[in-house]
Amino acid sequence: MYCEAFASGKCVSCPHIHQSYLQQLQRKQAQLQQIFPELPLELPCPSETAHFRNKAKMVVMGSSQAPVLGILNADEQVDLTACQLYPTGFQQAFALLIDFIRLVGLEPYQLDSRRGELKFILLSYSELDGWLLRFVLRSQHHLAAIRKHLPALQQQWPTLKVVTVNLQPEHKAILEGEQEFVLSAEAMLRQQLNDVVLYLQPQSFFQTNSAVAAALYQTARDWTAALKPARIWDLFCGVGGFALHLASPEVQVTGIEISASAIDCATRAALERGVSIDFRALDATAFADAAAQAPDLLVVNPPRRGLGQSLCQRIETLKPKALLYSSCNPITLAKDLQSLPAYQPQRAQLFDMFPHTDHAEVLVLLLRQGD
């Protein structure tokens, strides 16, 4: 794929974009084989090479009358509204947003002078339900003006379902703050993956590549069906993707996640699906430490830092029969597996959520040996 922003050195987010996709997959597969030298790997699950991202995180730069959406590379403002990773509908959405910024007179935040209000635009898309839009602002100064002009934007953009303002008052390179104002009638966006409808809302993690995420959850179902677990835990469950795919009337499922807003989404999805899942907003390690009995199947999908020593040790003493580990960081995955010596990998597969980058999502099924 040719990308002008990469060729000119203005955007380095996709360092392998000029390599053939087959070579990219071969490189990632070879890296995965180093972690599992003995295991015949499954074939990688590929992605579309363009238009696969369901969300955009845009830094807002320029001025209120000439806004630029993209990234700041050193001191250069790089317009990424034509980035090929976004589905085509994003370009029209960005154009509407640029007009809206002008209309409201939202001054982009300037890092050097610390003036201005609008820091980021965060935009998510679901084929089922439409758009979720978040304005990340420095203060509440323009909140009333955004509210006032929002009906006009919604009229032009009927599929704009959820609109919020997030406050991030600090002068730091962080994407969002804690306070969120919901400006639309709806606060959650529905997203369908396979036969499961998930809910997402601001401050809840959702996989970036919907098609590959659907394949990941379906594979989790396929690999674990024969195990017939009676009890499943989904630790780091987010909005409940794994738990909702694995739930059935015969199995008792518990989902644990630190973000209360993600747990609200997961709980609503379970209710609408008519399945009983015990979703709780807790720290995963604290939950495992306090548990008296192990599940038959433990699903874990931690952030990039991995499970860590203490949770791995707890898993070793709890002794669940099977462990399904979905990792977005093969380095911490390899480290965690060294701390889980009782578990033997049975199957491993690369899910290419992030083409053109070095990032890899890996699913591994492990069984406990020697009991």
Binding footprint of ligand SAM on the chain (CB under 6 A): 205, 207, 236-238, 241-242, 256-259, 262, 283-284, 301-303, 328
CB of 345 to ligand SAM, least distance (A): 20
Neighbours of 91 (CB within 10 A): 12
The CA distance from 371 to 319, in Å, is: 9
Active-site residue (options: 11, 45, 265, 328): 328
* Angle at 31 (CA atoms; ends 29, 32), nearest 5 degrees: 65
CB of 27 to ligand SAM, least distance (A): 23
The CA distance from 64 to 107, in Å, is: 5
Strand 189-193 and strand 196-200: pairing?
antiparallel
Encode 67-88 in three state secondary structure. EEEEEEECCEEEECCCCCCCCC
When the beta carbons of 63 and 194 are compared against ligand SAM, the nearer one is 194
Residues making up the annotated binding site are: 207, 236, 257, 301
When the beta carbons of 116 and 302 are compared against ligand SAM, the nearer one is 302
CB of 277 to ligand SAM, least distance (A): 13
In the DSSP assignment, the letter for residue 40 is: P
Strands of 5-54 (E only): list them. Answer: none
Closest residue to ligand SAM, Cβ-based? Answer: 238
CA atoms within 13 A on the CB side of 190: 14
Judge whether 14 counts as a catalytic residue. no
The CA distance from 320 to 230, in Å, is: 12
When the beta carbons of 213 and 340 are compared against ligand SAM, the nearer one is 213
DSSP string, 290-317: H-SS--SEEEE---TT-S-HHHHHHHHH
Task: Residue 272: name the closest of 130, 157, 129 by CA.
Answer: 129
CB of 187 to ligand SAM, least distance (A): 18
When the beta carbons of 89 and 308 are compared against ligand SAM, the nearer one is 308
Residues making up the annotated binding site for S-adenosyl-L-methionine are: 207, 236, 257, 301
- Is residue 138 within 8 A of residue 109, CB to CB? The reply is yes
CB of 194 to ligand SAM, least distance (A): 13
Strand 196-200 and strand 277-281: pairing?
unpaired
- Is residue 46 within 8 A of residue 361, CB to CB? The reply is no
When the beta carbons of 168 and 191 are compared against ligand SAM, the nearer one is 191
The CA distance from 94 to 88, in Å, is: 11
The CA distance from 113 to 107, in Å, is: 13
CB of 136 to ligand SAM, least distance (A): 18
- Is residue 82 within 8 A of residue 130, CB to CB? The reply is no
Catalytic residue numbers, as ranges: 328
